C-alpha cells in the first residue's frame, strides 16, 4: 500500500528520528489461523488474489494438493501441504496458510535502508510501500520466515499487507472473510491470544499434547498467530522453532554497533586530520639545491652501507658524469 491510510505509524524503516505516534487508544490487531479447523480449501488464496487484484499464475501438478510451489510477488498467500509418516504407521497431513506473520519486531523493517519503504502501524500491521522501495532485497535476508518476494520487472518487493486497506476501513482481511470454517480469525491481539490459548487447551484435552499457540518471543510476538495441533512438528509445518531477528549471525546488533563505530571513526578521522593540520601544518621540502645535494649524497655513500642492489645501481648512475638529466626536448 502506498498510503498511510490515516493509521497511526509506530515506526518506519531507515528513519532514526523518534516515532510520531502519541495516540494512546491504538488497538493492536491480529489474525489467527486455527490449523485444527483448516480444511485446505484455498479460498483464502483466491480471496487474497481477488482483493489485491494480483495476477493469476498458471499452476501445475507437482504431486500434491498445493497450488503453487512457493510464494511469489503475485502470490502473497499460499496453502502449504506436507505429508509426514508417523511412527505408528499413520500419517500426519500438515496444512498451513503461509503468508506474512507481521512480527512485532520485524526483521524486514530493521534491515531496510530505504526511508519509509517499510512501515509498522500502531495496530501492528507491517506494510511495504513500494513507492519508496529501492529493490535492495535486504528485507528478504532480514525476514526469519522467508516471506517477501522480489519482482524482477518492477524491481520491488511484495508481501501480504494484512489487508491494511480493509482493516483501516473496519473490515476484516479478505482471507478471513473468505474462510468457510472460521479457521482464519481476526480481532484484537488480546482476543486472538485468548481464543488461541483456549483452543490449545481443548486440543490438549483431545490428545494433542504438544499443541501450541505460535506467537514466538524472539520476534516479540506476531500479528498473525497459529494454533498448531502438532506442536512437535513445527519444522515440518515450515515454521522455525525459535525465530528471532537477532539470531541470524547476530546481524542486527552487529550492524548497529558497526554504524555507531563507523560514524564515530569517520568523524574522528576528519576532525583528527584537521587538528593534525593545525598542529603541524604543511611540510615543505628544503630548497631545491639543498634537496638535490642531499639526494645525491645518499647515492654516493660508501658501498657496504647499503646492501640492496637497486640502491647501489642507482648510486652508480648518479656518479656517471654524463647522466645529468636534460629534461624535455
Q: Is-contact 157 149, C-beta < 8 A?
A: yes
List phi, psi (to 5°) of 241. Answer: -65, -45
**Among 63, 249, 302, 304, interactor with other proteins by CB under 8 A:** 249
**Among 54, 136, 191, 233, interactor with other proteins by CB under 8 A:** 136
Minimal distance in Å, beta carbon 9 to other proteins?
Answer: 16
**Among 39, 70, 294, 303, interactor with other proteins by CB under 8 A:** 294
Q: Is-contact 79 95, C-beta < 8 A?
A: yes
In angstroms, rounded to a whole number, what is the distance separating the alpha carbons of residues 137 and 148?
8
Of the candidate spans 1-9, 210-218, 221-229, 302-310, the one that interacts with other proteins by CB under 8 A turns out to be: 302-310
**Among 55, 288, 302, 304, interactor with other proteins by CB under 8 A:** 288
Strands 184-188 and 118-121: unpaired
Using the rule CB under 8 A, is 148 a contact of other proteins? no
Minimal distance in Å, beta carbon 312 to other proteins?
Answer: 10
**Among 7, 10, 15, 221, interactor with other proteins by CB under 8 A:** 15
Using the rule CB under 8 A, is 115 a contact of other proteins? yes
Using the rule CB under 8 A, is 327 a contact of other proteins? yes
3-state secondary structure of 158: strand
In angstroms, rounded to a whole number, what is the distance separating the alpha carbons of residues 48 and 38?
16
Which residue, 61 or 280, has its beta carbon nearer to other proteins?
A: 280
In angstroms, rounded to a whole number, what is the distance separating the alpha carbons of residues 86 and 94?
12
Using the rule CB under 8 A, is 269 a contact of other proteins? yes
Which residue, 91 or 275, has its beta carbon nearer to other proteins?
A: 275
Minimal distance in Å, beta carbon 155 to other proteins?
Answer: 7
How many residues are given for the chain? 329
Question: Look-up: residue for cell 505460535?
Answer: 214
| Burial 139-176, CB ≥16 within 10 A → b, else e | bbebbbbebbbbeeeeebbbbbbbbbbbbbeeebbbbb
Which residue, 182 or 262, has its beta carbon nearer to other proteins?
A: 262
DSSP 227-252: EES-GGGHHHHT--SS--SSTTTTHH
In angstroms, rounded to a whole number, what is the distance separating the alpha carbons of residues 125 and 160?
10
Task: Using alpha carbons, select from 167, 224, 220, 138 the residue that is nearest to residue 27.
Answer: 167
Q: Which parts of 156-175 interact with other proteins (CB under 8 A)?
A: none
Of the candidate spans 74-82, 95-103, 139-147, 211-219, the one that interacts with other proteins by CB under 8 A turns out to be: 139-147
Which residue, 25 or 288, has its beta carbon nearer to other proteins?
A: 288
Contacting positions for other proteins (CB under 8 A)? 14-16, 113-115, 117, 132, 134-138, 140-143, 146, 150, 155, 248-249, 251, 254-255, 258-259, 261-263, 265-266, 269-270, 273, 276-277, 280, 282-288, 291-292, 294-296, 298-299, 301, 306-308, 310-311, 314-315, 317-318, 320, 323-328
Amino acid at each position: 500500500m502506498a498510503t498511510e491510510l490515516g493509521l497511526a505509524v509506530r515506526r518506519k524503516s531507515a528513519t532514526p528520528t523518534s516515532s510520531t505516534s502519541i495516540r494512546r487508544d491504538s488497538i493492536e490487531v491480529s489474525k489467527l489461523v486455527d490449523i485444527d479447523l483448516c480444511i485446505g480449501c484455498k479460498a483464502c488464496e483466491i480471496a487474497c488474489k481477488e482483493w489485491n487484484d494480483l495476477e493469476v499464475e498458471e499452476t501445475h501438478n507437482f504431486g500434491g494438493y498445493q497450488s503453487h510451489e512457493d510464494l511469489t510477488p503475485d502470490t502473497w498467500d499460499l496453502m502449504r501441504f506436507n505429508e509426514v509418516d508417523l511412527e505408528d504407521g499413520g500419517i500426519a497431513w500438515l496444512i498451513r496458510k503461509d503468508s506474512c506473520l507481521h512480527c512485532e519486531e520485524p526483521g524486514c523493517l530493521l534491515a531496510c535502508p530505504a526511508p519509509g519503504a517499510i512501515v509498522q502501524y500502531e495496530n501492528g500491521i507491517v506494510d511495504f510501500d513500494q513507492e519508496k522501495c529501492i529493490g535492495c532485497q535486504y528485507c528478504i535476508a532480514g525476514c526469519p520466515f522467508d516471506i517477501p518476494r522480489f519482482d524482477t520487472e518492477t524491481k520491488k518487493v511484495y508481501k501480504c499487507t494484512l489487508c491494511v486497506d480493509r482493516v483501516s476501513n473496519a473490515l476484516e482481511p479478505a482471507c478471513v472473510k473468505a474462510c468457510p470454517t472460521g479457521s482464519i480469525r481476526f480481532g484484537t491481539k488480546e482476543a486472538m491470544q485468548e481464543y488461541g490459548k483456549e483452543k490449545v487447551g481443548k486440543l490438549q484435552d483431545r490428545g494433542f499434547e504438544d499443541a501450541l499457540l505460535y506467537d514466538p518471543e524472539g520476534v516479540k510476538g506476531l500479528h498473525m498467530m497459529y494454533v498448531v495441533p502438532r506442536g512437535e512438528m513445527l519444522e515440518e509445518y515450515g515454521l522455525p522453532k525459535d525465530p528471532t531477528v537477532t539470531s541470524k549471525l547476530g546481524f542486527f546488533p552487529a550492524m548497529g554497533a558497526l554504524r555507531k563505530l563507523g560514524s564515530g571513526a569517520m568523524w574522528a578521522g576528519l576532525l583528527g586530520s584537521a587538528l593534525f593540520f593545525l598542529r603541524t601544518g604543511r611540510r615543505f621540502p628544503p630548497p631545491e639545491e639543498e634537496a638535490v645535494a642531499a639526494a645525491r649524497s645518499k647515492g654516493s655513500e660508501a658501498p657496504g652501507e647499503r646492501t640492496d642492489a637497486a640502491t647501489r645501481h642507482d648510486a652508480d648512475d648518479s656518479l656517471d658524469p654524463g647522466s645529468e638529466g636534460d629534461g624535455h626536448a
